[in-house]
C-alpha cells in the first residue's frame, strides 16, 4: 500500500508491476500536493554537482535519459542558456567543467560556449550587466501533473487500486507493528479499516504527521518555492534562461512551457499548515521579476504582466544545514515498525526512490523485491492520422498507450486548441469522462493546466468547458454553480497575483 501523489505513484507502479496487491490513497486529488507545483523540469541536477553531490547527479542524469527515451512526447529536451558576465559567479571555466562532467554522465556532449554574437542570436534582448557570452546546455521538461497521471495509469493497468479524496486518518497497530490503516472518504465522510501487510508513507510534506505515533524526530524541513506564469509574448524566450539571482546568488530560471513562460523559483522555509495551499508572497513576486529584468532589462516585466502564480512546498529532508538552498535534495527511506517512509528526492528519480522503499517493504509484505530496469511507460501504438502530428504527439504525451482510444469517433472541433494555449478541448472531455475528476480544480489545475495558463483561471472559457464536460460529470446546475464558486475562490486566494 502506498499513500500519496508522485512518489506514491512510483511506488504503486513498481509494486503493481511485480504482482503485489496495491492500494494507493490520496487525501485530495492525485498530484494535488507538491507534484503539480514543481518547476516541471526533469533535470539531472546540475546544482547538486556544484554542491559536490555526485551520486544524486549521476542517478538523476541517468533517469532523465531514461524518461527522454521512454516517454519522449511527455519528457522533452529543453536547451538552457546561462549568461557569462564578467565578475559574476560561477566563472566560465568552472561552469564549463561542471557541464563537461554533467554531459559525460549522460554519455553525450550537448554543451557549448556561445560568444556574444551567437548569444544575442540565441536569446535576443538578453543583456545583463557585463555580458560577454553564454554557456548552453540541455536538460528536460515535462508537465508534472500529467507525468503523475501517466505513472498512475501504468500502475492501474497492472492492477493497482487508486483512490483520490481518501484520507488516511491513522495507522492501525498490532503487537507493535502496523497492520493496516483507518481511512475516510473525504466526499461522504464514510470510514473504513483496511488490513495491510506493509504501508509506504509517501506523503511528502505531511510525512511527519503519519510518523507522529512512532515517536521519532521529525524528518522534514518544508521549503516553499513559488513561480510566476507570464504570457510568452511578454517574455518570448526559446531557450531556458538560467541565472544566479543578482541579489543572493540563488539559481533562478525562466523557460517556455505550454505556450506561456514559467519563472521560478524561490526557496524559503514554510511554517504554515500544509493543508492550506501555499501562496506566493509579494516579496517573492518582486524577487522573480527582478531576476528577469536583470537578464532582459528592456522588457521591464511588471506585476501586471503576470497571468498566474503558484507555490509548492518541497519535502526536503532536514540535514541541519543553515541556508535553505543548501539543504540536501536527496531522498530518505526509513523502515519504522513496518511503516516505510519515503520522502525528499525529486520527480526525475521517482523510480529509484520507489525501488528503495519496496526493498524495505518486501519482508513485511512477505515478498522478494527484485530491482529491475524494465520500462515504466508502455509504448503507444501508432495513432490514426485523423489528427495532425502535433496533436497526435500531445495525445500520446498525455494518455500513452490509451491515446488511440480517444481518437475514435472524436468530434473534429474537440481537436482544436483552447485559444491562447496548447491544450485541446478533447483533453477536458477525456478528463471529465475517465480521469477521476471530483472537483472543477481537478480538471483545470491538474488534468489540464488551463487554470495557470489563462487569465483568472480560464474564467472566459468556463461556459464551453461546462457544456463539454456536463455529459460526463452529470453535475447539474446547482453543483456546477457550487464548483465554479469554489474554484474562483481558490484561484483568487492561491493562484492570482497577491496585492503588491
Ligand X SMILES: Cc1cc2nc3c(=O)[nH]c(=O)nc-3n(C[C@H](O)[C@H](O)[C@H](O)COP(=O)(O)OP(=O)(O)OC[C@H]3O[C@@H](n4cnc5c(N)ncnc54)[C@H](O)[C@@H]3O)c2cc1C
- Identify which range of 25-33, 100-108, 117-125, 475-483 contacts ligand X by CB under 6 A: 25-33
According to the binding rule CB under 6 A, does residue 35 interact with ligand X? yes
Q: Which is nearer to ligand X, 180 or 225 (CB)?
A: 225
If the CB atoms of residues 24 and 114 are measured against ligand X, the closer one turns out to be 24
For ligand X, the closer CB: 169 or 405: 169
Which residues are within 8 A (CB) of 350 and not within 5 positions of it... i.e. 6 or more apart? 6, 7, 9, 10, 151
Of 227 and 461, which has the nearer Cβ to ligand X?
227
128 lies in the binding site for ligand X (CB under 6 A): no
Contact between 34 and ligand X per CB under 6 A = yes
Q: Return the residues of window 282-341 that contact ligand X according to CB under 6 A.
A: 312-315
Binding track, positions 220-259, relative to ligand X; x by CB under 6 A: -----x----------------------------------
Is 78 a binding residue for ligand X by CB under 6 A? The answer is no
Q: CA end-to-end span of the chain, whole Å?
A: 44
* Stretch near ligand X under the rule CB under 6 A, chosen from 1-9, 115-123, 300-308, 443-451: 1-9
Does 8 bind ligand X (CB under 6 A)? Our answer is yes
The answer to whether residue 61 forms part of the interface with ligand X (CB under 6 A) is no
Nearer to ligand X, 253 or 399 (CB): 253
Choosing from 13, 14, 27, 448, the residue that interacts with ligand X (CB under 6 A) is 27
CB of 168 to ligand X, least distance (A): 4
The residue count for binding ligand X (CB under 6 A) is 37
Q: How many residues belong to the chain? A: 500
Measured from the CB atom, is 270 or 394 closer to ligand X? 270
Residues 340-379 interacting with ligand X (rule: CB under 6 A):
345-348
| 111 near ligand X, rule: CB under 6 A | no
Under a CB-based contact definition with an 8 Å cutoff, are residues 357 and 342 in contact?
yes
Question: Please, which residue, 180 or 315, has the CB nearer to ligand X?
Answer: 315
Choices 22-30, 214-222, 298-306, 447-455; region in contact with ligand X by CB under 6 A: 22-30
Name the residue nearer to ligand X (CB basis): 20 or 30.
Answer: 30
CB of 149 to ligand X, least distance (A): 13
Q: What residues line the site for ligand X (CB under 6 A)?
A: 3-8, 25-28, 32-35, 37-41, 43, 167-168, 202-206, 225, 265, 312-315, 345-348
Amino acid at each position: 500500500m502506498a499513500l500519496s501523489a508522485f512518489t506514491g505513484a512510483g511506488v504503486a507502479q513498481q509494486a503493481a508491476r511485480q504482482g503485489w496487491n496495491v492500494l494507493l490513497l490520496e487525501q485530495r486529488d492525485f498530484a494535488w500536493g507538491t507534484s503539480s507545483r514543481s518547476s516541471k523540469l526533469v533535470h539531472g541536477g546540475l546544482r547538486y554537482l556544484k554542491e559536490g553531490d555526485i551520486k544524486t547527479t549521476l542517478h538523476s542524469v541517468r533517469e532523465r535519459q531514461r524518461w527522454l527515451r521512454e516517454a519522449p512526447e511527455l519528457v522533452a529536451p529543453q536547451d538552457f542558456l546561462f549568461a557569462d558576465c564578467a565578475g559574476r559567479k560561477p566563472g566560465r571555466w568552472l561552469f564549463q567543467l561542471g557541464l563537461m562532467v554533467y554531459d559525460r554522465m549522460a554519455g553525450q556532449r550537448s554543451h557549448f560556449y556561445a560568444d556574444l554574437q551567437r548569444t544575442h542570436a540565441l536569446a535576443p534582448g538578453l543583456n545583463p550587466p557585463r555580458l560577454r557570452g553564454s554557456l548552453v546546455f540541455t536538460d528536460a521538461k515535462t508537465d508534472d501533473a500529467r507525468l503523475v497521471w501517466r505513472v498512475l495509469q501504468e500502475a492501474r493497468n497492472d492492477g493497482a487500486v487508486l483512490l483520490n479524496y481518501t484520507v488516511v486518518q491513522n495507522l492501525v497497530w498490532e503487537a507493535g507493528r502496523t497492520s493496516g490503516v483507518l481511512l475516510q472518504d473525504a466526499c461522504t465522510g464514510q470510514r473504513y479499516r483496511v488490513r495491510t501487510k506493509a504501508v509506504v508513507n509517501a506523503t511528502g510534506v505531511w510525512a511527519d504527521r503519519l510518523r507522529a505515533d512512532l515517536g521519532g524526530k521529525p524528518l522534514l524541513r518544508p521549503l516553499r518555492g513559488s513561480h510566476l506564469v507570464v504570457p510568452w509574448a511578454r517574455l518570448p524566450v526559446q531557450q531556458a534562461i538560467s541565472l544566479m539571482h543578482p541579489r543572493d546568488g540563488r539559481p533562478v530560471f525562466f523557460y517556455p512551457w505550454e505556450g506561456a513562460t514559467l519563472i521560478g523559483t524561490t526557496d524559503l522555509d514554510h511554517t504554515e499548515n500544509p493543508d492550506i495551499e501555499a501562496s506566493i508572497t509579494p516579496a517573492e513576486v518582486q524577487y522573480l521579476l527582478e531576476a528577469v529584468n536583470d537578464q532582459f532589462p528592456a522588457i521591464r516585466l511588471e506585476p501586471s504582466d503576470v497571468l498566474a502564480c503558484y507555490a509548492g512546498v518541497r519535502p526536503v529532508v532536514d540535514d541541519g544545514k543553515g541556508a535553505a538552498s543548501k539543504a540536501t535534495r536527496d531522498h530518505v527511506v526509513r523502515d519504522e515498525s513496518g511503516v516505510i517512509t519515503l520522502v525528499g528526492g525529486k520527480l526525475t528519480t521517482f523510480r529509484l526512490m520507489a525501488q528503495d522503499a519496496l526493498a524495505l517493504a518486501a519482508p513485511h509484505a512477505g515478498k522478494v523485491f527484485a530491482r529491475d530496469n524494465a520500462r515504466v511507460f508502455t509504448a503507444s501504438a501508432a495513432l490514426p492520422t485523423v489528427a495532425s502530428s502535433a496533436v497526435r504527439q500531445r495525445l500520446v504525451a498525455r494518455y500513452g498507450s490509451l491515446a488511440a482510444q480517444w481518437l475514435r469517433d472524436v468530434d473534429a472541433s474537440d481537436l482544436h486548441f483552447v485559444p491562447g494555449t496548447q491544450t485541446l478541448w478533447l483533453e477536458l472531455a477525456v478528463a471529465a469522462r475517465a480521469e477521476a475528476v471530483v472537483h472543477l480544480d481537478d480538471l483545470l489545475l491538474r488534468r489540464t493546466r488551463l487554470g495557470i495558463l489563462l487569465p483568472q483561471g480560464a474564467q472566459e472559457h468556463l461556459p464551453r468547458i461546462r457544456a463539454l464536460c456536463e455529459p460526463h460529470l452529470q453535475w447539474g446546475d446547482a453543483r456546477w454553480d457550487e464548483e465554479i464558486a469554489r474554484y474562483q475562490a481558490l484561484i483568487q486566494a492561491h493562484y492570482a497575483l497577491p496585492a503588491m
